[in-house]
Amino acid sequence: MQFEAVIGLELHAQLATRTKIFSGAPTAYGAEANRQASAIDLGMPGMLPVLNEQAVHYAIRLGLALDAEVAGRSVFARKNYFYPDLPKGYQISQYELPVVGTGHLDIELDDGTRKRIGVTRAHLEEDAGKSLHEGFARMTGIDLNRAGTPLLEIVSEPELRSAREAVAYMKKMHSLVRYLRICDGNMQEGSFRCDANVSVRPVGETRFGTRAELKNLNSFRFVERAINFEIERQIELIEEGGEVIQETRLFDPDRGETRSMRGKEQAHDYRYFPDPDLLPLEITPALINAVRDELPELPDAKSERFQRDYGLSAYDAGVLTGSRELADYFEAVVAAAGDAKLSANWVMGELSGALNKAGLEITQSPIDAATLAGLLLRIRDETISGKIAKEVFEAIWDGEGDADAVINARGLRQVTDNTAIEAMVEEAIAANPEQLEQYRAGKTKLMGFFVGQVMKASGGKANPQQVNEILKRRLDG
């Protein structure tokens, strides 16, 4: 029997507000444990929540970017369950009436085709605290700094059919929330994480199988590994005559497997009811329009513009619009250097390679856009060759100054004088009579040998195009 996977993702984006969703406590990462938990976050008697307006604006921003319904009226509810790091005994969330309704996100598959994935909803809620299991002998520590941190939970339709599709969707949403600057997307700090609902069914079946929820996956690699393992686990269980049970499972990255955590609750188990301390959230058309006016150019539109205006391939445009910061950097280079393809090659090639090797983001690059553009201008005006440019780039990266300073200090200006190049060509030919004879006997691949001899004699500074032209004329003459 052939099976197919049915996957839906619940993505939790921590909103980039300075304070929590219902209190004025700060949200900064890395504070000493329990120093950022206010009486409101802890649900102390007499403490009333007050909704963070900026969190609402961020939710609207995402809804518009997803071409989704933004609710004129939504309601906050209490989701009741017990955890040591949830001191109130309930989480303030949204259930029946979320702030963002149905929308969609288009993803690109491995074969280059696009697939539209439905977004069921996105709702505002508060985060819980964190249980600490390391450093405590036979005990568990509780850090409530995260309690009350604003989250936007983004729920997809179960329309993903493989781990690769799930990762593509997650990456696209990760890029989008960063473009919108509503979430910093830092997965190591828990600002963007994923719960994956996974089930399998026979190919051709329309009903859903029993799903397992994989909790708190905080890297794209873990999402792919966890989903693939879970698909195989469920198929193997069914083929052996077993039955998949609805449960919550955790992924163990060291062993590469999922394991049972607890039975999966149904919605009624949480005993949702409207929070009596919070009025319904009413969003006016005027507010929606004001937020729409603030939207940046979104990734898909930017990619299409890069292809149209700069003549880039779909692949290059996709890479360069992977983050808003990278796209801005590229456009700044093009504006100063004047050659889109050359700029794209260097941003995606030498620069990205150096950043990856150093573990840096584009915003941390030691070479700013104007400095890289200065290097590209020296390639364009043939002051240096593309090969020498790589040496200059490394020197700039190491702090030796801009392109002109490095070129002058190292004496790297390209030799373009025809007389000088012709002299080097004559020397190379005279020094290699055997190769000359073989070339003229039909072994034309030796052209590369002679080019190499001339470039070696020039210290790599001779203009390659002139070298090739003069050599071919002399060898064929």
Q: Which pLDDT value is given to residue 265?
A: 63
Ranking 316-325, 379-388, 392-401 by mean pLDDT, the lowest is 379-388
Backbone dihedral region for residue 219 (phi beyond 0: left; psi -120 to 50: alpha; all else: beta): beta
Three-state DSSP state, 253: coil
pLDDT of 444: 85
User: Any idea what the Cα angle at residue 257 is, between residues 255 and 259, rounded to 5°?
Assistant: 115
**Given this model, what pLDDT does residue 75 score?**
97
- Please state at what angle helix 324-337 crosses helix 369-380, rounded to 10 degrees: 40
Name the CA dihedral angle for 313, 315, 321, 325, rounded to a multiple of 10 degrees. -100
Residue 216 vs residue 358, higher pLDDT? 358
Read off the tokens for 243: 């039955």
Joined together, the tokens standing for residue 248 give: 């919550």
Rg of the Cα trace of the chain?
A: 30
pLDDT of residue 377 exceeding 80, the answer is yes
Q: How far apart are CA 185 and CA 253, in angstroms?
A: 21
Region 456-470: mean pLDDT is 80
35 pLDDT tier (thresholds 50, 70, 90): very high
End-to-end CA distance of the chain: 71
pLDDT band at 264 (very low <50, low <70, confident <90, very high): low
Bridge partners of 249, per DSSP, are: 214, 260
**Percentage of the chain exceeding pLDDT 70:** 98
Q: Which strand (E) or helix (H) includes residue 335?
A: helix 324-337
d(CA 324, CA 175): 8
From CA 173, how far away is CA 103, in angstroms rounded?
13
DSSP H helices in 399-446:
403-410, 418-430, 433-440
- What is the three-state SS of 360-382? CCHHHCCCCHHHHHHHHHHHHCC
Integer Cα distance of 169 and 175 in angstroms: 10
pLDDT per residue as tens digits for the range 41-76: 988 988 999 999 999 999 999 999 999 999 999 999
Q: What is the structure's pLDDT at 266?
A: 67
Sign, CA dihedral 413-415-416-417, equals positive
Predicted local distance difference test score (pLDDT) of residue 453? 87
Strands (E), 254-378: 257-263, 273-274, 281-282
Percent of the chain's residues with pLDDT above 90 = 74
d(CA 361, CA 150): 25
Task: Give me the residues paired with residue 247 across strands.
Answer: 212, 263
Out of 268-282, 317-331, 416-430, pick the least confident.
Answer: 416-430
pLDDT in tens, 266-288: 667 789 999 999 999 999 999 99
Amino acid at 186: N
Mean pLDDT of the chain: 92
pLDDT tens-digit readout, 95-139: 999 999 999 999 999 888 899 999 999 999 999 999 888 888 888
- E strand spans, 94-219: 103-108, 114-126, 130-132, 141-143, 150-156, 192-202, 212-217
CA angle 44, 50, 53 (to 5 degrees): 150
Tell how strand 247-252 and strand 212-217 pair up.
parallel
Burial of 140 (0-12, 13-18, 19+ CB in 10 A): exposed
Q: What is the mean pLDDT of residues 314-319?
A: 94
Tokens 């970017």 correspond to 65
Tell me: pLDDT of 458 over 80.
Answer: no
Residue 454, token pair as written in the block: 């001339």
Residue 120's alpha-carbon distances to 66, 148, 421, 455, in angstroms, are 11, 24, 67, 62
Confidence check: pLDDT of 347 > 90: yes
**DSSP 8-state symbol, 22:** S
Q: How does residue 429 score in pLDDT terms, banded at 50, 70 and 90?
A: confident
Residue among 104, 106, 96, 105 nearest 71 (CA): 96
- What integer is the mean pLDDT of 402-421? 84
Cα dihedral 216, 221, 227, 232, rounded to 10, equals: -140
- Give the pLDDT confidence score for residue 433 in this predicted structure: 84
